[in-house]
Structure 1
Amino acid sequence: MERYEEIEKSLIKKYRKSIWNRFIMGMKEYQMVNEGDRIAVCISGGKDSMILAKCLQHLQAYSQVHFDLEYIVMDPGYNQLNRKKIEENAKLLNIPVKIFHTDIFNTVHNMGGSPCYVCARMRRGHLYKNAQLLGCNKIALGHHFDDVIETILMGMLYGGQVQTMMPKLHSTNYQGMELIRPLYMVKEQDIISWVNYNSLEFIQCACRFTEMYEKEHNAHDVLTSKRAEMKEMIKNFRTINPNIEHNIFNSVCNVNLDTIISYHKGDEYHSFIDEY
């Protein structure tokens, strides 16, 4: 048996309950794939996008719903080591990637200020654009359940709003394109366990600005991002209530509008006073 076959087998055997079944649950619950879809699987080189590619690849082989896949890697200006690692892992996992180069890192660096938001927006735009050129109608990203929970908390604690990371959404700038998140119900710790079980090594944050920052500051400073704070907070909550993540998630799935002071849908604002 080839190495990639052993790795893939572990997904549907050892990690069937914790990863594969939850992947399928999210796909079905949120109706992410339809007959005739052509999906661009967006690969950054990290653990999440790589396991996403393997899950979709295996699903495509056995699904009764016919859909096509393109595996795309957008190189925003990786250093040679990171670029090489992505290519080696794609070969190891039998993922036929198509790599396209951009100059996003340099462009964002020259703009000054906080680069993360601008970089993320530019990367998303390039992914949509290249997916369209390949005839795709959807892009798939590797966000997982933990990302969803952290986003909910960040919105409440730092954004002053109740919001979540949606399992799928229509693009506002690229007509006919959708974004899907097939790992929506998969927990990060299970992904990490799968990576370690198969002795895999993926790139972490390949951002050039993070590399520069790490050289100029203590490594601890880099980790004190808002998302890292949320991870630590959830970890502490879990010692009090092991079901805390699911309760946070359910809180945005079971919204009772009769108990909400105000909300908006698009540009339309609603207050409980209006119907009091």
Structure 2
Amino acid sequence: PPDMKVFRGMGKAIKDFDMIREGDRILIGISGGKDSLSLLHFLLHLQRKSPVKFHIGCATVDPMNEAFDPSPLKKYIPSLGVPYFFETQNVFDRASKYLSQQRPSICAFCSRMRRGILYAAARREGYNVLALAQHADDLVESFMMSIMHNGLLRTMKANYVEGSGDVRIIRPLVYVREKELRRYADVACLPVIEDNCPACYEEPKERRRMKKLIASQEALFPDVVSNLIQAMTPLIANGP
């Protein structure tokens, strides 16, 4: 059974931002990390309990990076009775070539490529919704980084339609804290796959610094993250 505090937080976000509708076919982007595996289990629980009927499938992008092997998911996810699409594409090599052209972050480029592959899988398999597992900490960090580095008030949105207009993206965990997901993944013994991408050690330094800054403020003001999420609600609902 899911952690009920987390489940209620997810349920509130789904209701607040009108994420799941009758007959939706929802494809969950599964990286193998604690966040996406937790999201899968929470949505399966919601599917059993909710009067709103919806279909769940999962997709993983294997970027063909020897430091990251998501293949154990090929047995695990079908064992839950969920349709599973395993997309193997040489993302890491293409991202490395892109980086060699003196362009910004390999992580940002890799992430965009993986997202595009998930959109394509959703379209091919007839899913109208793509569910992603970013949580409250991700949104707060993105918000603070955007203000400090770019002078912009922006963060990730909870529910929006992708540019082509045929796939809707939802983030059901926007009210859920990372530490709650980590605790659930440990207690539920989820088969978490660590991402040991060599680029990922170098690139997210700014995000790590932001995590430390937020943690230092949270030690002084325990409500700082929930207050930031509350302040960001108009951006989460209607942001860029």
TM-score clears 0.5: yes
Q: Matches of residues 82-161 of structure 1 in structure 2 within 5 Å?
A: 82-87=69-74, 89-90=76-77, 95-111=82-98, 112=100, 113=102, 114-161=105-152
Answer with 45-54 or 197-206: which moved more. Answer: 197-206
1:253 to 226, 233, 239: 233
Contact 2:56–2:82, Cα closer than 8 Å, also in 1: no
In structure 2, list runs of 5 or more residues that go unmatched: none
Structure 2 match to 1:258: none
Asked if the contact 1:148–1:164 (Cα under 8 Å) also holds between the matched residues in 2, the reply is yes
Query: How large is the RMSD of aligned CA atoms in angstroms?
Result: 2.3
The equivalent residue for 2:211 is 231
1:16 and 2:7 aligned? no
Contact 2:27–2:58 under 8 Å retained in 1:
yes
Separation of aligned partners in 1, 2:225 and 2:159: 20
Contact 2:68–2:194 (Cα < 8 Å) also in 1: no
Q: For residues 156 and 31 of structure 1, what CA distance do their matches in structure 2 show? A: 27
Q: Which runs of 4+ in 1 moved over 4 A?
A: 91-96
Find out whether 1:50 has 2:37 as its counterpart.
Answer: yes
> Matched residues in 2 for 1:226 and 1:89: separation?
34
Aligned residue identity for 1:250:
Q
Residues paired across the two proteins, number: 233
The percent of aligned pairs where both chains have the same amino acid is 28
TM-superposition CA deviations, 1:24-58 (whole Å, max 9, x none): 11111111011111111110110101011111112
Shift of 1:182: 0.8
Q: Does 1:192 align with 2:182?
A: yes
How many Å apart are 1:92 and its aligned residue? 6.6
CA shift for structure 1 position 81: 6.4
Provide the residue aligned with 1:61 in structure 2.
Answer: 48
**Gap regions ≥5 residues in structure 1:** 1-8, 215-221, 256-264, 267-276
Aligned partners of 1:81 and 1:207: how far apart in 2? 6
Q: Which amino acid aligns with 1:177?
A: V
Aligned-partner SS, 1:179: strand
Whichever of the two has the greater Rg, that structure is 1
Secondary structure of the corresponding residue to residue 127 of structure 2: coil
* TM-score normalised over the length of structure 1: 0.77
Quickly say closer, same or farther: Cα 1:86–1:249, change in 2 above 3 A: same
SS of corresponding position for 2:183: helix
Shift of 1:201: 4.4
Matches of 2:193 and 2:9, distance apart in 1? 24
Q: Quick one: which amino acid aligns to residue 244 of structure 1?
A: V
Give the number of the structure with larger relative contact order, counting CA–CA contacts within 8 Å between residues 6 or more apart.
Answer: 2
